[in-house]
């Protein structure tokens, strides 16, 4: 049935409407559970967040009626002396952790553990899961012991035989440890996804490529990586968005320091402004402005990812005809 055009009889139009209504109802029926979840737990909170970000709501005036300051919070945010630093830190944190660990190391681990003996591969993957199942406070405590100042510090003791001067590693290389700490946890997620994706590639493809003359590296480059493109897209998207909004390990490890804003990232700033200030003065409105911009960045990033990875190309229509 084609789209109704001017001149159609009313009877035909009514029939057309019926089919359309039923199809639409069916579609909404299937969409409803997910739509309700997304609305209640994402759209509504985001709208509330946005409304709060337009007010000067804080712990000193929360019993009074909302007082709208409109874009003042945003203006203040962009005028902040440390705004460029925090932005840069966030970009650095996400890109380095993602590149070296959450996708890079995850891929290396998945490839390695699927190319060795099965049992050994399983064992290695288990080891990489340990950081994720360790409570974050315990995990960070461990890292702080490792990178502690002299005369303590496990790293200092390990490196001493090689003639390395003992030093306060965490203080001197805060970024190195921020990325290591997050990366060791983050790598296991991608590792598991990539491992199962690689193992589900039919063995025939890999055998065929070898017979065709491919070395192990060429098999990985030409066959395995293209065939796990979708999991790669998924992990990159998911992990960069979750890194963007994560701050607990940084909070526990460096609190954004040492010094002024050395390792402070966007989500940590939002947290501090809204919920944790030195004098107990929580600026909910101002913190919400930081938070809302983070949501916007996340949305824009998702759209870019879908474009760059050409998501719609993954779904192709077959054109089978008989020989």
Stretch near another protein under the rule CB under 8 A, chosen from 73-81, 201-209, 242-250, 271-279: 201-209
207 interacts with another protein by CB under 8 A: yes
Size of the site for another protein (CB under 8 A): 25
200 interacts with another protein by CB under 8 A: no
Q: Given candidates 75, 222, 276, 307, which one binds another protein under the rule CB under 8 A?
A: 222
Query: For residues 225 and 297, which CB has a smaller minimum distance to another protein in the complex?
Result: 225
Query: For residues 6 and 320, which CB has a smaller minimum distance to another protein in the complex?
Result: 320
218 interacts with another protein by CB under 8 A: yes
Tokens of 140: 């960070």
Query: For residues 38 and 208, which CB has a smaller minimum distance to another protein in the complex?
Result: 208
Going by C-alpha positions, the residue among 119, 265, 121 that lies closest to residue 182 is 265
Q: Given candidates 214, 220, 252, 293, which one binds another protein under the rule CB under 8 A?
A: 214
Give the other-Cβ count within 10 Å of 191's Cβ: 26
Distance between alpha carbon 177 and the CA centroid of its chain, in Å? 19
Stretch near another protein under the rule CB under 8 A, chosen from 64-72, 120-128, 215-223, 258-266: 215-223
SS3 letters across the chain: CCCCCCCCCHHHHHHHHHHHHHHHHHHHHHHHHHHHHHHHHHHHHHHHHHHHHCECCCCCCCCCCCCECCCHHHHHHHHCCCHHHHHHHHHHHHHHHHHHHHHHHHHHHHHHHHHCCHHHHHHHHHHHHHHHHCCHHHHHHHHHHHCCCCCCCHHHHHHHHHCCCCCCHHHHCHHHHHHHHHHHHHHHHHHHHHHHHHHCCCHHHHHHHHHHCCCHHHHHHHHHHHHCHHHHHHHHHHHHHHHHCCCHHHHHHCCCCCCCCCCCCHHHHHHHHHHCCCCCCCCHHHHHHHHHHHHHHHHHHHHHHHHHCCHHHHCCCCCCCCC
109 interacts with another protein by CB under 8 A: no
116 interacts with another protein by CB under 8 A: no
233 interacts with another protein by CB under 8 A: no
228 interacts with another protein by CB under 8 A: no
Cα–Cα distance, 296 to 212 (Å, whole number) = 47
- Distance in Å, CB of 221 to another protein, minimum: 11
Q: Given candidates 10, 211, 217, 280, which one binds another protein under the rule CB under 8 A?
A: 211
Stretch near another protein under the rule CB under 8 A, chosen from 82-90, 137-145, 153-161, 212-220: 212-220
Mask for 291-320, x = binds another protein (CB under 8 A): -------------------------x-xxx
202 interacts with another protein by CB under 8 A: yes
Q: Given candidates 108, 227, 252, 301, which one binds another protein under the rule CB under 8 A?
A: 227
321 interacts with another protein by CB under 8 A: yes
Q: Given candidates 37, 126, 208, 299, which one binds another protein under the rule CB under 8 A?
A: 208
Residues found near another protein in the complex (CB under 8 A):
202, 204-205, 207-215, 218, 222-223, 226-227, 229, 316, 318-323
């Amino acid at each position: 049935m084609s789209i109704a055009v001017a001149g159609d009889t009313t009877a035909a139009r009514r029939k057309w409407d019926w089919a359309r209504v039923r199809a639409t109802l069916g579609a909404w029926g299937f969409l409803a559970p997910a739509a309700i979840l997304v609305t209640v737990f994402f759209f509504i909170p985001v709208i509330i967040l946005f409304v709060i970000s337009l007010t000067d709501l804080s712990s000193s005036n929360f019993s009074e009626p909302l007082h709208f300051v409109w874009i003042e919070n945003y203006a203040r945010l962009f005028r902040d002396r440390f705004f460029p630093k925090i932005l840069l830190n966030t970009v650095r944190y996400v890109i380095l952790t993602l590149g070296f660990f959450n996708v890079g190391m995850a891929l290396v681990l998945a490839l390695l553990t699927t190319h060795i003996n099965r049992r050994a591969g399983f064992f290695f993957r288990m080891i990489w899961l340990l950081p994720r199942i360790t409570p974050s406070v315990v995990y960070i405590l461990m890292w702080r012991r490792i990178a502690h100042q002299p005369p303590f510090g496990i790293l200092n003791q390990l490196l001493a035989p090689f003639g390395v001067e003992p030093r306060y590693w965490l203080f001197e290389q805060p970024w190195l440890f921020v990325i290591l700490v997050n990366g060791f946890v983050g790598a296991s997620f991608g590792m598991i996804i990539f491992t199962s994706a690689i193992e589900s590639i039919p063995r025939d493809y890999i055998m065929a490529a070898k017979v065709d003359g491919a070395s192990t590296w060429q098999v990985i480059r030409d066959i395995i990586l293209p065939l796990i493109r979708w999991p790669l897209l998924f992990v990159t998207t998911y992990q960069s968005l979750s890194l963007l909004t994560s701050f607990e390990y940084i909070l526990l490890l460096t609190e954004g320091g040492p010094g002024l804003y050395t390792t402070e990232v966007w989500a940590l700033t939002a947290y501090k402004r809204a919920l944790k200030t030195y004098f107990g003065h929580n600026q909910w409105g101002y913190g919400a402005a930081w938070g809302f911009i983070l949501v916007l960045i996340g949305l824009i990033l998702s759209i870019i990812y879908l474009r760059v990875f050409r998501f719609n190309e993954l779904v192709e229509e077959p054109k089978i005809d008989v020989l």
